[in-house]
Structures are given as structure tokens and as C-alpha cells.
Structure 1
Amino acid sequence: MNIFPSTQTKTEALQQAGNPAAFAPEKVMGQKDFLMLLTTQMMNQDPTQPMDPTAFVSDLTQMSQLEATTQLNSSVMAMTMGFQNLQIMQASSMIGKNVVAQGEMISHQAGQASTIRLNTEQPLTDVKLVITNSSGVVRELDYPSLARGETTVSWNGKNDAGIDVAGGDYRLVAFGYDAEGEIKAVDSFVGTSVKSVSVEKDGSMMLTLSTGERVKMDAVREIS
């Protein structure tokens, strides 16, 4: 006797039996289905042994809390996306703008002096500002001391031999020594322009400067 439908082979039946998705419900039970089940069970219960509805009520409460949490998460995600889109629109207006931002690269114009801001959280002595390019050290500037906070210095565009260097991108490295003789890095802020804006996976905004250097939005001190 053939126990399989005429259109179904034994192999097809075995494949379907081994496939959990073939027997999965079309949809997940919701609150409406849960209440209907609870009402039906109460209508058909044994009058001499009535069921305890506490478990059902507890499950219903948990289901309601889960649904509310899911809806809240969806709302928060929508708000986050909206906020990120607003950030992008605001940040896009910075493209092409001149900014003063924390960075290690400076775009030098030949024949002109370049202004650099140095910032330290504590007083330092024997401070050095080293300017380099792909060929090595171009100029080393020395400062006997540097007060806490921000100090503006200038590079006249000449190398250590007193010759004007070509225009282009140069790297800055600044450091000094604290009261205990420990070497400390000094932050540099340079004038540049914004080339593009992007959003990182964590939602933070990143700016690509004209030098190719990428910095965070909070690295910008001035916009003009």
C-alpha cells in the first residue's frame, strides 16, 4: 500500500520530514492569539478543577513587556538614523571650508610663513617642533619653554640651511619635558580645509582634510 500522495515520492517525503522549516508555523503567536487561547481554555476547563490563571497572566505580562521593548528599540533606531542624517547634512556644509584642526600635517605655501598652534596640558621645557617630509627632517625649531595651554608659533618656510622649501604637505612632531624630566607629546593645530565628510560605524563624524589626514569632528577649533 502506498502511504504517500500520488504527487509525492518517498524521497521527497523524507526530505520534507528532515526540514524543520516545512513544519514551522507561518507566524509567531501574538497577544491576540494568546488571549484567545486563554479564553478557550477557561471556557473548557473542568469546573471541579479550575485552572490557576496566574501563569497565563504572568506570561501575558512578559509578552506585553517584550512587545513594548521591541517597539521602543525600533523608535530609538529611527531617532538615531534621523540624528545621523542631520549630522551628515550639517557636516556636509563644512566641505571646502577653512578650519583650524588638531593634526600632524600642514599644507605649506612656498614663500609664505605657516602658523602653527601648540597645545600642552602642563608647562614644558626644551620643546622641539620637528618638521619633516618624505625625504626626512626639513626644519627643527627649538623653544626654551612652553606654558600650559595654547601657544602660536610660526615657521618661515625655510629649512635648516636657511633655504626656502617647496610648497606641499609637511608632517609636524612636537614634544618637550615636564618637571620630572619625562618626555611629553605636544598637540599641534594647523590651518587647513575640509575635503570630505564621512560617518564611522560607531556614528562618529570624520573629516578628511586637504592634507589627506582624517580627524574627528571635535578636533576642529575654528571654521571660516
Structure 2
Amino acid sequence: MTTTTGVTNSADLFESINKARDNKSKSQETQDRFLKLLITQLQNQDPMNPMDSAESTSQMAQMSTVSGIENMNASITSMMATFNAAQSYQAAALIGKTVMVEGDTMQFDGSKPVTNEIDVPAEGGVVTVAIYDASNNKVDEIQLGKQPGGRQAVEWDGKGANGNSLPAGKYYISASVAQANGGNKQIPSYTYVKVDSVAMTGGTVNLRLTDGRVLPFGDVTSIM
């Protein structure tokens, strides 16, 4: 009975050792081989011509550096996983909310003015904003005059060029700044769009918007 127990314990011990060995990283295995080689060299060195201690110290420092880098990489990977998880929770809270992202699509509810933003070049300029309906017909034009550089708010009252209220629906904004040569340069616009769902793709948190676009969480510039 005693013999059987001893065999079982030995088997368990070898299994544990094998598992531990399998779990060792490549750098740990390299360190083990290096230490065994170093000990063998020390045991068999010529007393009249001993090993160069400086060289041994340098090799050990290199091994320590490799181990440190591996540990740092593991820490960074863990931190990124935690960051992505936190970001996904934040993004999930946006479902059903309206966020501002770069684009030209805006939704008019038939009554309240629509607020958008444009990105005017650093030097500023005379800005014109055109509004188009879902059929790409130009329905209104807003002359903003001279504007300073940077993000500027633009409000559309939901009325056409003739002053009549337009029906609720999807509309598009197009902004441009006058050039010195007489032409016009298109500038970025930002509109509010509702978030339909959130997904994690390839380590990136993406938002699916109600207009069909899928954008990274980091593209959101403000939340309504």
C-alpha cells in the first residue's frame, strides 16, 4: 500500500514539474540554460586562467534586460486589455445617445433647428454653408461671412431659401471657404448622429451609427 502511494505521489510530482516546464517562457528557458552553462564553466575553469568576470557580468546583465523587456511587454499587454475593456464600457453607455462626428449627414425633426460644426482653416476666411435634401437638391444657403480659424458652430433653422419650413427627414451640409484666387475650398463639417450599437473589432471599440456608418470610438468629438 505504501509503495502504491509513493508511485502515485511521484507521478503527481513529475506531472507538476512537466506542467511548470511547459509554462516557462522562452526567456526563462534561455536563462536556465545560461546559468547551467555558467556553472559548468565555473566548475571546469582553469585555475591558472579563470573566466573573465567582466564578460560573465555583461552576459548576466543582458539576460536580465531580456527578462525585464518580456515582463514589461506582458504588463503593457495587460494594461491595454484593461484600457480596451474600460473603453468598451464607456462606449456602451452611448447606445441610444446622439454624438458629434465628422460627416455631412444631419437629421431634421421638422421643428427644432439643427446644430452642426465646421472646421475653418487656421487663417480663417469667408465661409458659405449649403444645405441639400435627401435627393441632393440644394434647399438653402447660409452666408457666414468672415470666420476665424478653428471649429465654429453652424445652426440651420430647417427652412428653405424661400423662408418656408421644410419637412422632417435627412439633409446634408456642405461648407466651403473662399480662396484668394476666387475659388472655394471644401472644409470639414461635423454633425450629430445617434449611436445604434457598439462592437469591439480587432481591439478597437467601434460605434455603429443610425446612418449606417461604423466609426472608432475615438472619432466622437462631443455628446449631446
Whether TM exceeds 0.5 here: the answer is: yes
Alignment of 1:82-161 (within 5 A): 82-109=82-109, 111-119=110-118, 120-121=120-121, 122-125=123-126, 127-133=128-134, 135-143=135-143, 145-148=145-148, 149-158=151-160
RMSD of aligned Cα (Å) = 3.2
CA deviations 1:100-133 (Å, max 9, x no partner) are: 4442111233x43541324324543261314142
**Count of paired positions:** 195
Change (3 A) 1:41 1:138: same
Q: CA deviation at 1:218?
A: 5.0
SS at match of 2:137: strand
Q: Distance in 2 between matches of 1:144 and 1:38?
A: 78
Q: What amino acid is the match of 1:42?
A: L
More helix by share: 2
- Segments ≥4 residues shifted beyond 6 Å: none
Q: Give aligned-pair identity as a percent.
A: 25
Change (3 A) 1:151 1:54: closer
Q: Would you say the 8 A contact 2:198–2:206 is kept in 1? A: yes
CA deviations 1:137-188 (Å, max 9, x no partner) are: 24241416142252332142548796844x4333322112145645333333
Alignment of 1:162-177 (within 5 A): 164-165=166-167, 167-177=168-178
- Residue 51 of structure 1 corresponds to 51
- Specify every segment of 5 or more residues in structure 2 that has no aligned partner in the other structure, as ranges: 1-21
